[in-house]
Chains A and B, each alone.
Chain A
Amino acid sequence: MNPLWQLTLARFREFYREPAALFWVYGFPLILAGALGMAFSEKPVPAANVDVQDEPCDPAGTEKLRADLAADPGLNVAVHDADVCRKRLRTSKTDAVVVPRPNTHERYEYLFDATRSESVLARTAADRALLRAANPQAPRAKESAVTEPGNRYIDFLIPGLLGINLLGGGLFGVGFAVADMRIRKLLKRFQATPMRRSDFMLSLMISRLVFTLIDIGLLLGFAYFAFKIRVRGDPLVFVALIALGGASFAGLGLLLGSRARTMETTAGLVNAVMLPMYVLSGVFFSAARFPEVAQPFIRALPLTALNDGLRAVMNDGAGWEALPYPLLVLGIWGAVCFAVALKIFRWR
């Protein structure tokens, strides 16, 4: 009847006997990954929508313009009168409008929105189509589309999802569990026994680590079968990163739950820590998009370090050289949080 084993066992039992918790912890991330993967699955960039403004005085010219544009496979062309064209452009139903100017030197006018990339693309595509129509003899460069696993959006996304899963697991799994036990006065009851506090803390870490490995295994299996995503680098480094992230976030969770006396406080703290990292740490889009001055701060966040490490190993096939930066950042965060949590931990 080893106390560490019994405490850990109790955590497992409480967890797997709660089907709703099982769903939210294990089912939900799979659904999220599936939905996002499908939404961003490798569709080629859709054809640009271009409207031709009807020129009532010159129906033949309008028709020629329409045909020249429609000859380009990258364009969807429609003909509308001036008012409708403007309205469709304003409401993004079309990306650009080509207005014939028959008696001018320019011959055409492009209406487009310079702040919208689709609109700029449509303008460029229309320009290309008209140039080619005017110079059918001009030589064309050979085009070869390249798709390679590793550079799709889903390849970028899955390591980020693994990262937020580890983060959420640590903060909710440890922070909430501890706060809940305090509110139920169970911590106080444990404090009144000869239970070693280190056993209690260790049982939290061990159970968290096991749940995490199951969680990550499921997500990874799903990503492989649904999107042919696999770890291209050193699997040992990958496992090391997962364990490091799990432990570091468990420390963070323990800190957030170390004093809170209500669930509301805990939820507020967890959100305050989690949401900024969701945005800043490169989960759904690259953290490199943020301004240069913010980069040192962003790179010091534990989730950024983990996501960068996971992407390097999964997508770029990195080995041990990918480990030092996450090891440093996650190690410091985890150790400091854990030490402070132990120091300020409230048993009652």
Chain B
Amino acid sequence: MNSAIRVRGLVKTYPGRPPVEAVRGLDLEVAAGECFGLLGPNGAGKTTTLEIVEGLLDPTAGEVEVLGLRWGRGDAEIRRKIGISLQETRLSDKLTVRETVTLFRSFYPSGLTPDEAIARVGLEEKARSYVDKLSGGQRQRLAVATALVGEPELLFLDEPTTGLDPQSRRQLWDVIRAQKDRGRTVVVTTHYMDEAERLCDRVAVIDHGKVIALGTPAELIARVGGEHVIDLDVDPSGPPRPPAGALADLPTVRSVREEGDRVTLTAGEPHRALPALLDLVRAAGTKLAGLTTRHATLEDVFVTLTGRHLRDES
């Protein structure tokens, strides 16, 4: 496998009282040509990891190799080959879209023409508009255009779709897919699980500065134990629900998680688990407020691994 990024034993500690250990021994390998997702809640260390790989932060310890080069020796060459969209850059309000992209293009010895870059993110109609006249989604696409204009081998997008409406998100997904179709590597951080499932070939789930799971979205979901999820909402005014032990013994049920009035089961074969579950509920006299079956998502993976939801504060 030809690696675009190789990270070994990465540690980043911010000085302070007490020191903040943002990244604590992280290993990562991203293959050339894949779309790789870094997943995790806010504060998990995604952005810190990304900025170290991008050469914007110095690691406290560990090795980082980008496109076979190392920071400190091949800085100029790496910067020519990578494109970056940061989480929150406010580009100059009084420059037009084309002027902004042209400015960024001038930093690179080769690359797209500004108009090509603008076309790739679908902002042709706004090429002459000032940045302060753009919507949030358009600004985000402009930020991606400035990352694309040097025709990078490796594209980093830090939470490119956070806070965007569904249509803008889809437009950005198309940009990322097109980049992948050209055989380029894309690394994207997100806390939207659906986004990672649709876009990424592989994902690393990061929590408390470490990789806690790594693989294709399908692999990770399979690892939770069953692709299917049954959510059971119990009416608290009725008789008590069946005990977790009894639920776990149902056919093909792999795991049981109780959270308030909701019980979530993962099951290998819902057509066998469901009738047995309903029999049990009827026998116990439990009243149901709701019953849903769905495919397992990366969100379930995260909750199973950490006991927390991705969007939880903390």
Give the chain B neighbours of A14 by CB distance below 8 A: 92-95
Among residues of B, the one whose C-beta sits closest to the C-beta of A186 is B89
Of B101-109, B209-217, B247-255, B291-299, the one touching chain A: B101-109
Give the chain B neighbours of A188 by CB distance below 8 A: 56, 86, 89
Contact A193 B107 (CB under 8 A): yes
Tell yes or no: A17 within 8 A of B by CB: yes
Tell yes or no: A294 within 8 A of B by CB: no
Tell yes or no: A184 within 8 A of B by CB: yes
Tell yes or no: A295 within 8 A of B by CB: no
Among residues of B, the one whose C-beta sits closest to the C-beta of A190 is B107
Size bracket, chain A contacts: 20 to 34
Tell yes or no: A287 within 8 A of B by CB: no
Rounded to whole angstroms, the CA-CA distance of A189 and B56 in the bound complex is 9
Tell yes or no: A3 within 8 A of B by CB: yes
Rounded to whole angstroms, the CA-CA distance of A193 and B95 in the bound complex is 19
Binary flags per residue of A1-24, CB closer than 8 Å to B gives 1, else 0: 111011101100110011000000
If A184-B89, A192-B84 touch, whether A17 touches B94 (CB-CB below 8 Å) is: yes
Among B79, B90, B102, contact of A193 (Cβ-Cβ < 8 Å): B79
Tell yes or no: A194 within 8 A of B by CB: yes
Rounded to whole angstroms, the CA-CA distance of A5 and B106 in the bound complex is 9
Among B76, B92, B108, contact of A186 (Cβ-Cβ < 8 Å): B92
Tell yes or no: A152 within 8 A of B by CB: no
Rounded to whole angstroms, the CA-CA distance of A256 and B108 in the bound complex is 30
Give the chain A neighbours of B86 by CB distance below 8 A: 185, 188-189, 192
How many residues of B are in contact with the other chain, CB < 8 A? Answer: 29
User: What are 11 inter-chain pairs, A to B, with CB distance below 8 A?
Assistant: A3-B106, A3-B107, A9-B103, A13-B94, A14-B93, A184-B90, A185-B89, A191-B56, A192-B54, A192-B55, A193-B104
Number of A-B contacts (CB under 8 A): 71
Among A186, A194, A348, contact of B79 (Cβ-Cβ < 8 Å): A194
Among residues of B, the one whose C-beta sits closest to the C-beta of A348 is B56
Taking beta carbons and an 8 Å cutoff, which residues of A are in contact with B?
A: 1-3, 5-7, 9-10, 13-14, 17-18, 184-186, 188-195, 348
Tell yes or no: B91 within 8 A of A by CB: yes
Q: Classify the secondary structure of A's interface with B.
A: helix
Contact B108 A194 (CB under 8 A): yes
Contact A10 B103 (CB under 8 A): yes
Give the chain A neighbours of B107 by CB distance below 8 A: 3, 190, 193-195
Name the distance in Å between B89's Cβ and chain A's nearest Cβ.
5
Rounded to whole angstroms, the CA-CA distance of A267 and B104 in the bound complex is 29
The 10 A-B pairs with the shortest beta carbon distances in the complex, nearest first, are: A184-B90, A6-B106, A17-B94, A195-B107, A1-B106, A194-B79, A3-B106, A193-B107, A192-B84, A189-B89
Interface residues of B in 99-117 (CB under 8 A from A): 99, 102-109
If A192-B56, A194-B76 touch, whether A185 touches B92 (CB-CB below 8 Å) is: no
Give the chain A neighbours of B82 by CB distance below 8 A: 192
Among residues of A, the one whose C-beta sits closest to the C-beta of B54 is A192
Rounded to whole angstroms, the CA-CA distance of A1 and B91 in the bound complex is 19
Give the chain A neighbours of B103 by CB distance below 8 A: 6-7, 9-10
Rounded to whole angstroms, the CA-CA distance of A252 and B91 in the bound complex is 26
Give the chain B neighbours of A17 by CB distance below 8 A: 94, 130
Tell yes or no: B150 within 8 A of A by CB: yes
Name the distance in Å between B296's Cβ and chain A's nearest Cβ.
37
Residue of A6, A190, A348 with most partner-chain B CB within 10 A: A6
Rounded to whole angstroms, the CA-CA distance of A289 and B30 in the bound complex is 71
Rounded to whole angstroms, the CA-CA distance of A185 and B56 in the bound complex is 12
Give the chain A neighbours of B109 by CB distance below 8 A: 194
Contact B104 A185 (CB under 8 A): no
Tell yes or no: B262 within 8 A of A by CB: no
Name the distance in Å between B85's Cβ and chain A's nearest Cβ.
9
Among residues of B, the one whose C-beta sits closest to the C-beta of A183 is B90
Among residues of B, the one whose C-beta sits closest to the C-beta of A4 is B106
Name the distance in Å between B32's Cβ and chain A's nearest Cβ.
20
Contact B79 A185 (CB under 8 A): no
Tell yes or no: B24 within 8 A of A by CB: no
New contact pairs (10) apart from A3-B107, A17-B130, CB-CB < 8 Å: A6-B102, A6-B106, A10-B92, A13-B94, A184-B90, A185-B88, A186-B90, A190-B107, A192-B56, A193-B84
